[in-house]
Every structure is written in C-alpha cells, then in structure tokens.
C-alpha cells in the first residue's frame, strides 16, 4: 500500500519562481561577478535539490554547501554544477569529496594533504578553494599562514588553487569599519600570493549582504544565501532588499473549533484568559514543526480569512490555538497562513524572527522535516 503523507493539514509551499526571480535580480546587480547559490541546510529549509535547480536555471553558475553530505545529495540528484563545501571537512571524508567531484575548502596543510591523497588515488587533479580568516575568526587560515598553504596547494601535482576566499562578520552593517578592515587584510593576502606567482582564477568574499551593499566585495563571484530566499540579511540592508520576494509560505487548515467562555484560558499553563467569549481555532502544527514556542507568549499572529489573529496560548508540540474572537465565520478546513500572504495581509519569517529575538535564517531552517514541502 502506498501512503501519501502530503495530505496533512500543515505544509510549506516553496515558490521556485521567487527563487529564480531573486537569483536573476541579484545576478543583474553583481554582474559581471558570478552568483553561486548557497543551498546548505536543505536550502535554508526550502529543499536543496529543487532550489539548486531553480537557481541554476536563473543564472547561478555554482552551488555552496556546509558539509559533504549536502553535496552528495546534489550529485545523486544529477546536478553537475560546481559544489563548494565551505569549510574544511574531516580528513576521512576526503574520498567522498573527491569521488563526488565536490570542491573542497582548504584551511590547513593537513587538510590539503588529505584531499591530495584522495586525489592521487583517483589520478585526478582536484581544484580547491583556500579560505583565509580576515577577521571573523571562525574558519580559515591565518593571513600569515596563507602563503605557505597556497604554495603547498599550488605546488602539489594533484591539487590546484581554483580560488582564494574569505567571509565577512558584519556585512549586514555596511558602515561598520570591520568590513573595510577585512577587505584590506584580504587584498594584502591576494597581493602577497600574486607576488609569488599565485593568481587564482577565482576570488570571492561576499555573502548576500556584502553582494548587495558593497561593490568592492563582489570580486569574481558572490555566495548568495538568504537573499535568494527573499529574506533580509539584516536590518542594515533592508532598503537594498526591496526587489526580493520571499519564497517560503507555511500553511495549515483549521482542524477544530470551540467557543471558550470569558475568563477561561487556553493551552498548557492556562496562561492568558480570554476577555470575552471567543471562538478558538485549533491548527495542527506546533514547535516540532518549527513554530517557535516563544511565539505563543508574544503573541504572534496567523492569518485566517485574510485577517491577522493572535495565537491564544502556549504553542504545543503538534498544535496551536488561535483566537478568532467573536468571528463565527471561521470553519473547520479553512486555510491558515502562518508565513506568507492571504488576501492583503502578510506575515513574514522575518516578522516571526523580530518577535522571537532571532533572524529569518533560523526560522526557515527550523521548519522541520515533518512539514511536507510543496514546490511550485
């Protein structure tokens, strides 16, 4: 018996047209720099294979992931574009990196040696991207180590330096002086390598915020993540994101209704009594699906019938309750929009983030695997 679990009354819709639009929009701004689409973390919860294909259709020329497994998923789906794994991986994954034709990031000579021995076993020359820590202090060789690392890679018969790159810590605050400091450290490293005859065909530094805000950071390619999903990298670049369209909606249906008398409260803890008799709609998704529990306290609003309605109490693991007040027009089966648009009203992942003290990235990454994605 085949079972179709996609009929659950809670689902996410991913608008691949919005992804294509956002990629093409940013590509036109950053040209002639290439766009490599960042599809780590299942494309920030949007579906890595589907988003990768849409991004490539829209003009992206490469892809970026965080870990080897994510690259393998893309290759097994038949995607042939370059796939950069953006930090150095455990040495014992080198055969998979090389075997699947993924592009390794190298930040240590030991890491480069692991890639080289896997490459030698296949007889192939593997292009690598060497990453330098210019001030974020997360991943990368120290600037003073870069020459010897790049020389090792350039001098090894099984490796080549396809790119040198770095990553910004505060690109979402374009006026922050650390951006210029990181760029000048980066340029000094590039100059030093160049003076020793190492001129990588590719140089890159920019995430979404830097790609949009800082032409000097674009170099040969930009690594486009959050803006491709139509979400804000941060408040400091809100104006530059005006042309983007959010790709993910989170929807559900009203599964049950009841009238609750004035003074009664709803959900675990019975925390907030309703002021007047109210119609309470139960909606069958909760924190196990990625609705932050905190959203019940704030409270956040969901859309039913094009009207924003507050969450009535604590978000539970599998369900939330929504206060429809005196509105008796709400019925079981009605569409509920948690993230997205209904009529003229919208709620964004960025709104959830603002209400719960986080960023849109964490909201969409947090929409769990239990939520079925529908791509359109």
Chain residues in the site for ligand PLP (CB under 6 A): 38, 40, 86, 167, 207-209, 223-226, 233
Q: Which residue is nearest to ligand PLP (CB)?
A: 225
SS (H, E, C) the chain: CCCCHHHCCEEEEECHHHHHHHHHHHHHHHCCCEEEEECHHHHHCCCHHHHHHHHHHCCCCEEEECCHHHHHHHHHCCCCCCEEECCCCCHHHHHHHHHCCCECEECCHHHHHHHHHHHHHHCCCEEEEEEECCCCCCCCECHHHHHHHHHHHHHCCCEEEEEEECCCCCCCCCCCHHHHHHHHHHHHHHHHHHHCCCCCCEEEEECHHHHHHCHHHCCCEEEECHHHHCCCCCHHHHHHHCCCCCCEEEEEECCEEEEECCCCCCCCCCCCCCCCCEEEEEECCCHHHCCCHHHHCCCCEEEECCEEEEECCCCCCCCEEEECCCCCCCCCCCEEEEEEEECCEEECHHHHHHHHCCCHHHHHHHCCCCCEEEEC
Cβ-based neighbours of 62, under 8 Å, separated by 6 or more: 34, 36, 37, 81, 82, 83, 84, 221
Q: How far is the CB of 171 from ligand PLP (least distance, A)?
A: 7
Q: How far is the CB of 222 from ligand PLP (least distance, A)?
A: 8
Name the minimum Å distance from CB 37 to ligand PLP.
9
Nearer to ligand PLP, 130 or 280 (CB): 130
Say if residues 301 and 266 touch (Cβ distance below 8 Å): no
284 near 9, Cβ under 8 Å? Answer: yes
Task: Please state the closest distance from residue 225 (CB atom) to ligand PLP, in A.
Answer: 2
Choose between 291 and 359: whose C-beta lies nearer to ligand PLP.
359
* Set 40, 131, 152, 229: catalytic member: 40
Q: Is 268 annotated as catalytic?
A: yes
Q: Which of 165, 229, 251, 268 is catalytic?
A: 268
Which CB sits closer to ligand PLP, 260 or 339? 339
337/349 with CB nearer ligand PLP: 349
Cβ contacts of 156 within 8 Å, gap of 6 or more: 112, 116
Nearer to ligand PLP, 34 or 208 (CB): 208
CB closer to ligand PLP out of 118 and 209: 209
Q: Residue 321 burial by CB count (10 A; 0-12/13-18/19+): exposed, middle or buried?
A: buried
Q: How far is the CB of 223 from ligand PLP (least distance, A)?
A: 4
Residue 287: active-site member: no
CB of 209 to ligand PLP, least distance (A): 6
Nearest to ligand PLP of 118, 222 (CB atom): 222
Closest separation between CB of residue 79 and ligand PLP, Å?
18
Q: Which residues are catalytic?
A: 40, 268
């Amino acid at each position: 018996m085949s079972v179709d679990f996609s009929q659950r009354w809670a689902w996410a819709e991913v608008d691949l047209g919005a992804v294509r639009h956002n990629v093409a929009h940013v590509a036109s701004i950053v040209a002639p720099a290439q766009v490599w689409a960042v599809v780590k973390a299942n494309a920030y919860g949007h579906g890595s294979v589907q988003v990768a294909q849409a991004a490539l259709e829209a003009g992206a020329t490469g892809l970026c992931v965080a870990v080897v497994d994510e690259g393998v998923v893309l290759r097994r789906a038949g995607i042939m574009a370059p796939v950069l794994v953006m930090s150095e991986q455990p040495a014992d994954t080198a055969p998979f990196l090389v075997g699947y034709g993924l592009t390794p990031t190298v930040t240590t000579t030991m890491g480069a040696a692991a890639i080289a021995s896997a490459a030698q076993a296949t007889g192939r020359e593997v292009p690598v991207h060497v990453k330098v820590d210019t001030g974020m202090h997360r991943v990368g060789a120290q600037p003073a180590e870069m020459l010897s690392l790049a020389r090792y890679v350039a001098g090894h018969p099984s490796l080549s330096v396809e790119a040198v790159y770095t990553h910004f810590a505060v690109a979402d605050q374009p006026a922050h002086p650390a951006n210029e400091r990181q760029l000048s450290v980066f340029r000094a490293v590039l100059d030093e390598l160049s003076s020793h005859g190492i001129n990588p065909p590719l140089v890159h530094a920019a995430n979404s915020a830097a790609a949009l805000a800082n032409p000097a950071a674009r170099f040969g390619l930009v690594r486009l993540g959050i803006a491709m999903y139509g979400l804000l990298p941060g408040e400091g670049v809100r104006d530059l994101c005006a042309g983007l369209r959010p790709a993910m909606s989170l929807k559900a249906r009203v599964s049950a209704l009841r009238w609750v008398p004035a003074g009664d409260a709803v959900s675990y803890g019975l925390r907030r009594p309703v002021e007047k008799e109210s119609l309470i709609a139960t909606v069958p998704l909760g924190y196990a699906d990625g609705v932050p529990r905190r959203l019940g306290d704030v409270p956040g609003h969901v859309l039913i019938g094009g009207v924003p309605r507050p969450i009535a109490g604590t978000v539970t693991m599998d369900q939330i309750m929504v206060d429809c007040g005196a509105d008796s027009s709400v019925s079981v089966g009605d569409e509920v929009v948690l993230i997205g648009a209904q009529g003229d009203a919208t709620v964004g992942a960025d709104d959830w983030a603002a209400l719960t003290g986080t960023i849109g990235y964490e909201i969409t990454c947090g929409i769990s695997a239990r939520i079925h994605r529908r791509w359109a």
